[in-house]
Amino acid sequence: MTTKDGSVLISAKNVEKHFKGKKNTIKALDGISLDIKKGTVNVIIGPSGSGKSTFLRCLNLLEIPTGGQIVLEGVDITDPKTNINLHRQKMGMVFQQFNLFPHMTIMKNLTLAPVKLLGKSQQEAEQKAMELLKRVGLSDRAEAYPSQLSGGQKQRIAIVRALCMEPDVMLFDEPTSALDPEMVGEVLEVMKELAKEGMTMVVVTHEMGFAREVADQVVFIDEGHLVEQGTPEDIFEHPQSERLRSFLAKVL
Amino acid sequence: MSEWWQGFLDDFTLNFIDGNRWKFLVSGLGVTLEVTFLSLLVGIFMGTIVAIIRATYDKQYQEMRPGFGKSLFGIINGIAKVYLTVIRGTPVVVQLLIMYYIVFASSNNKVLIAVLAFGINSGAYVGEIVRAGIMSIDEGQTEAGRSLGFNFVQTMWYIVIPQALKNVLPALANEFITLLKETSVSGYVALQDLTKAGDIIRGRTYSAFMPLIAVALIYLVMVMFFSMLVGKLEGRLRNSDH
Ligand SMILES: Nc1ncnc2c1ncn2[C@@H]1O[C@H](COP(=O)(O)OP(=O)(O)OP(=O)(O)O)[C@@H](O)[C@H]1O
Ligand SMILES: [Mg+2]
């Protein structure tokens, strides 16, 4: 886990992602630069289709940018010579659809990667997993299968699965959008805890309340461009651009 | 009526009891089951490898970084495609004969030769079954694996393949039933499987009806039995999510 010391953990430099279609090219990202500082919570907002997910997925190269660079702890991970698998271990990711492994118990979901990739013993991995399960209040579900859990429980497990790899940064892509309203709170609560502990986070979300309360930096993306960035106060109380103002008028 | 019955009994005795001829059927059945089972294992092994290659090509090739790896993978995919085309475009008997008289001309291990011929043949069909299984697994599973730091092969092995195989288990069981019947051409390489056993009896007794109908009945009973098991398996899989 990291602490705030103002140093940059991830630096996105002029990142471009163009999807080539049959007829036209979609410029999902058209030159976005952004620094993610250690120990900060960064919330990305913007209209549907603006490129938020694409940007987040470029950070761990689930999408390979068609231009620009992603520098993680001083290493250019967009360079084809870097071993992206090693760097992904340090970047946990949480998906809208949870993506737990349905054929494994929760415990197996949590320990597979630490055992196979970090070389931990099964016992060591289980100990760590149990510790984290307790913190999200799900220690009694270790032997259950994902299909036996509610959406909110699944997403808390997905967060724990990423944390078991002891990442330096956590990426969240709309972690509460697939949840029934009454389950949103329990997941946001876990994320707030994480933020309090100093985890570096990049969160794409429509939960403006979360952004206001927890974010150190809010980033507004529209049509593949970074339009505005600043503190929650800057963004929500003093929006500069017309595009941000009209976006906020719609969502708030 | 009693005359007919007497004739039936005589025929039965001649074909199965005299000279302990029923033993041909028993050992033939053993060979058939052995060849079928081992062929299926070879088929699943080869089919899974081919399926991984083909599915990886379809999903990943465009995204791969240009270079030696990409070229090599293109070639491997080409080989897999040729394998599928050749095996599915020629009769299994011809493949068996080629295996016996050309590829393994120097060996006389007929079971091994038959297992390889039928297994390699089956692999082409299992390959397409497993490929469909892999394609049916949500992309999010692969992404979750990759985001944890697993490489592509590890993600396939630990996460995608187990789910894909589970989804196609009934189809694989049906492939076993297909193979069971297909191995009846083993006699072409003088392997004494169930069909050949019936034919040997026919050759000795000059009576075709009894041995051939008996062989047909044994196949039919086995196919019905295994089909029933597949049905049960399907029902069970439908009722479980994991
Ligand atoms: N694999 C792809 N192929 C082609 N186009 C894509 C692909 N993925 C995304 N896009 C396009 O890129 C643009 C940005 O998509 P993205 O998913 O990043 O938007 P988003 O801001 O996350 O939207 P939402 O809020 O709806 O999740 C969209 O126009 C989308 O259609
Ligand atoms: Mg999105």
Report the interhelical angle of A106-117 vs A122-135 (nearest 10°). 130
The pLDDT of residue A196: 96
How far is residue B69's CA from residue B152's CA, in Å, rounded to a whole number?
Answer: 14
Q: How far is the CA of A57 from the centre of ligand 1 (A)?
A: 11
Using the 8-state DSSP alphabet, how is residue B76 labeled? Answer: H
CB A152 within 8 A of CB A183: yes
The pLDDT of residue B186: 93
The segments of chain B whose pLDDT lies below 70 read: 239-242
The pLDDT of residue B159: 96
Which residues are near ligand 2, the ion (C-beta closer than 5 Å)? A 53
The pLDDT of residue B136: 93
Q: How far apart are the first and last CA of chain B?
A: 58
How far is residue A129's CA from residue A107's CA, in Å, rounded to a whole number?
Answer: 7
Q: Which residue has the CA at smallest separation from atom 3 of ligand 1?
A: A19
Nearest by CB to B241, which of A80, A93, A102?
A102
CATH number, position B51: 1.10.3720.10
In angstroms, what separates the C-alpha of B167 from chain A's closest C-alpha? 11
Nearest by CB to A95, which of B143, B159, B241?
B143
Using the 8-state DSSP alphabet, how is residue B114 labeled? Answer: H
Tell me which residue of A45, A48, A46, A51 sits closest to A32, measured CA to CA: A51
Q: In 3-state terms, what secondary structure has residue A202?
A: strand
Q: Which residues of chain A make contact with B162, given a CB cutoff of 8 A?
A: 103
Give the range of the structural domain holding residue B109, as residue numbers without chain letter: 2-240
Nearest CA in chain A to B66: A80
Strands annotated E in A1-121: 8-20, 25-37, 41-45, 67-72, 75-76, 91-94
Report the residue of B146, B147, B239 to disrupt the A interface, i.e. the one with the largest count of A CBs within 10 Å: B147
Q: Rounded to whole angstroms, what are the CA distances from A138 to A2, A144, A194, A195, B2?
A: 25, 10, 16, 20, 77
The segments of chain A whose pLDDT lies below 70 read: 1-4
How far is residue B111's CA from residue B117's CA, in Å, rounded to a whole number?
Answer: 10
In angstroms, what separates the C-alpha of A127 from chain B's closest C-alpha? 19
Q: Which residues of chain A make contact with B144, given a CB cutoff of 8 A?
A: 93, 95, 99-101
Nearest CA in chain A to B140: A99
Q: How far is the CA of A29 from the centre of ligand 1 (A)?
A: 9
The pLDDT of residue A246: 95
CB A54 within 8 A of CB A14: no
Q: How many residues does chain B have?
A: 242
The pLDDT of residue A235: 97
Q: Phi first, then psi: what are they for B213, rounded to 5°? A: -65, -40
Report the interhelical angle of B110-135 vs B169-182 (nearest 10°). 150
The pLDDT of residue B240: 67
The pLDDT of residue B20: 86
The pLDDT of residue A105: 96
Q: Which residues of chain A make contact with B141, given a CB cutoff of 8 A?
A: 99, 101
Ligand 1 lining (C-beta closer than 6 Å): A 19, 26, 28, 46, 48-54
How far is residue B242's CA from residue B237's CA, in Å, rounded to a whole number?
Answer: 8
Nearest CA in chain A to B142: A99
The complex's ipTM? Answer: 0.94
How far is residue A139's CA from residue B124's CA, in Å, rounded to a whole number?
Answer: 46
Q: How many domains does chain B have?
A: 1
Identity (one letter) of the amino acid at B208? A
The CB-side HSE value for A1 (13 A sphere, CA atoms) comes to 10
The pLDDT of residue A3: 61
A113 and B65 within 8 Å at the Cβ level: the answer is no
Q: Mapped to the 3 state alphabet, what secondary structure does chain B carry? A: CHHHHHHHHHHHHHHHHHHHCHHHHHHHHHHHHHHHHHHHHHHHHHHHHHHHHHHHHHHHHHHCCCCHHHHHHHHHHHHHHHHHHHHHHCCHHHHHHHHHHHHCCCCCCHHHHHHHHHHHHHHHHHHHHHHHHHHCCCHHHHHHHHHHCCCHHHHHHHHHHHHHHHHCHHHHHHHHHHHHHHHHHHHHHCCCCHHHHHHHHHHHHCCCHHHHHHHHHHHHHHHHHHHHHHHHHHHHHHHCCC
CB A243 within 8 A of CB A222: yes
A62 and B147 within 8 Å at the Cβ level: the answer is yes
